[in-house]
Amino acid sequence: MKITKVEAFPVPPRWVFCKVETDQGITGWGEPSLEGHAATQVAAVAELARVLVGEDPLRIEHLWQGMYRWGFYRGGPVLMSALSGVDHALWDIFGKSVGLPVHQLLGGACRDKVRVYGGCGGSEPAQLRESAQACVAAGFTAMKFCPVDATEIVDGFDVIKKVEARMAAAREGAGDADVALDFHGRISPPMAIALADALRPYHPFFIEEPVQCENVDALVRVARSTPIPIATGERLYGTHGFREVIEKDAASILQPDLSHAGGITEVRKIAAMANTHYMAIAPHCPLGPVSLAACIQFALCTPNFLIQEHGYLGQGYLKNPFTVTDGYLSIPTAPGLGIEVDEEAVRAMPWQDWDTPRLSQTDGSVADW
Ligand SMILES: [Mg+2]
């Protein structure tokens, strides 16, 4: 079998899908999304086609190495997201070519169900309480929200009070369900430590990106200051990107994104590295349904998988969208990634460029979103 064509195109609201075609009529789908950079990803995938066209799609590791290393420049969100999407498509082709779901090719299912968390939200405590109650009513046993606004490097008591009030309301609405918090990399180490201390009585499931992950020692400082499990990884790429976090035990939960960190091939390796430090994997996925499909295949066959994030279940994009029942995702049984992209519908969707929201401090200076 030979790869004949590699194509990527933007898909609303802010995704990119890629399609890899072969001379045997088997087609693979992947999602090289990088939010806010759709045109860049379409171009990056077109450049990867140089390595792919004419090659055997079943030599996944070899093609992965070629895409990663033959371009001289490697790593980073743009190149790794493009590579990730192609990697999904190659696994999809492999599965379809032998009539098996991807997880069967990676050792088979090591769990029966894939736990997924919901999202609650609101800036006012009353909204959060209601939203958390709605999550529980929808069957979720875990949920996540971002309790922090733009915050100065050192900020006042009013900020701590506001964040604590939000968490208290979410806990009230959630009852005994798990409530995770995403600080979105907005917070400095001293404020993250102060906030974690204030939130401790509400037993958050974990705190995600309490600080940016570019300075691992800063993350270590936060992690050592609190018994609340720390999660990070949506902005780390490849095994090399995760190495220092793992070696320094800077987090308890790693959140590689299957569309950014190197696809199924690389995230399996990251999970194995993490497992030697007893770290759990909770893949980041606020993206589209092709990315979620890759996550589900990964979750089924990876021992230290913990819980899955989700944004979209695929209605309107897939002919067989996912469902959530009692806090668990439906498991596809079809070969490959187990999905059928509604190509006609997806290609007909009008594309509108999506830009990342811009956050500022109260004095007008730039803040992290
Ligand atoms: Mg996050």
Instruction: In whole angstroms, give the CA distance from residue 67 to residue 61.
Output: 10
Per annotation, catalytic residue among 88, 184, 260, 310: 184
| pLDDT at residue 315, as a whole number | 97
pLDDT in tens, 278-304: 999 999 999 999 999 999 999 999 999
Does any domain span residue 356?
A: no
Statement to judge: residues 125 and 233 lie in one domain:
yes
Tell me what the mean pLDDT of segment 76-100 comes to.
98
Statement to judge: residues 130 and 29 lie in one domain:
no
pLDDT in tens, 242-253: 999 999 999 999
Q: How far is the CA of 70 from the centre of ligand 1 (A)?
A: 31
**Alpha-carbon distance values, 52 to 17, 25, 57, 60 (Å):** 17, 16, 8, 10
pLDDT in tens, 195-214: 999 999 999 999 999 999 99
Give the number of domains in the chain.
2
Does any domain span residue 359?
A: no
277 is catalytic: no
Q: How far is the CA of 246 from the centre of ligand 1 (A)?
A: 18
Does any domain span residue 363?
A: no
Sheet-wide strand order for 328-329: 114-115, 328-329, 324-325
SS3 150: coil
Using the 3D structure, point to which of 61, 82, 99 is the last residue of a domain.
99
Statement to judge: residues 211 and 331 lie in one domain:
yes
76 backbone φψ class: left, alpha, beta (φ>0; ψ -120 to 50):
left
Does any domain span residue 361?
A: no
Please list the residues that pair with 254 across neighbouring strands.
Answer: 232, 281
State what percent of residues in the chain have pLDDT above 90: 100
Does any domain span residue 9?
A: yes
Per annotation, catalytic residue among 37, 88, 103, 284: 284
Q: How far is the CA of 78 from the centre of ligand 1 (A)?
A: 18
Q: How far is the CA of 111 from the centre of ligand 1 (A)?
A: 25
Instruction: In whole angstroms, give the CA distance from residue 167 to residue 364.
Output: 27
CATH number at residue 51: 3.30.390.10
Q: How far is the CA of 166 from the centre of ligand 1 (A)?
A: 18
Q: What are phi and psi of 11, to 5 degrees?
A: -130, 125
Statement to judge: residues 90 and 147 lie in one domain:
no
Statement to judge: residues 138 and 208 lie in one domain:
yes
| pLDDT at residue 192, as a whole number | 98
DSSP 122: -
The H or E element that residue 328 is part of is strand 328-329
| pLDDT at residue 5, as a whole number | 98
Statement to judge: residues 153 and 118 lie in one domain:
yes
Statement to judge: residues 240 and 152 lie in one domain:
yes
Does any domain span residue 355?
A: no
Statement to judge: residues 43 and 185 lie in one domain:
no
Q: Which residues surround ligand 1, an ion (CB under 5 A)?
A: 182
Statement to judge: residues 91 and 121 lie in one domain:
no
103 is catalytic: no
Query: Does the global pTM surpass 0.75?
Result: yes
Statement to judge: residues 30 and 163 lie in one domain:
no
Does any domain span residue 366?
A: no
**Alpha-carbon distance values, 10 to 44, 126, 247, 292, 322 (Å):** 13, 37, 37, 17, 21
Give the number of other CB atoms < 10 A from CB of residue 67.
27
Using the 3D structure, point to which of 99, 126, 155 is the last residue of a domain.
99
Mean confidence (pLDDT) of the chain = 97
Statement to judge: residues 123 and 164 lie in one domain:
yes
Q: Which residue segment(s) compose the domain that 81 sits in?
A: 3-99
CATH number at residue 309: 3.20.20.120
Residue linked to tokens 């999202």: 119
State what percent of residues in the chain have pLDDT above 70: 100
Which tokens in the block code for residue 127?
Answer: 């909204």
- Residue type for position 227: P
Using the 3D structure, point to which of 99, 125, 151 is the last residue of a domain.
99
276 backbone φψ class: left, alpha, beta (φ>0; ψ -120 to 50):
alpha
Which tokens in the block code for residue 99?
Answer: 């009539």
Statement to judge: residues 92 and 148 lie in one domain:
no
Q: How far is the CA of 43 from the centre of ligand 1 (A)?
A: 26
Does any domain span residue 360?
A: no
pLDDT in tens, 306-343: 999 999 999 999 999 999 999 999 999 999 999 999 99
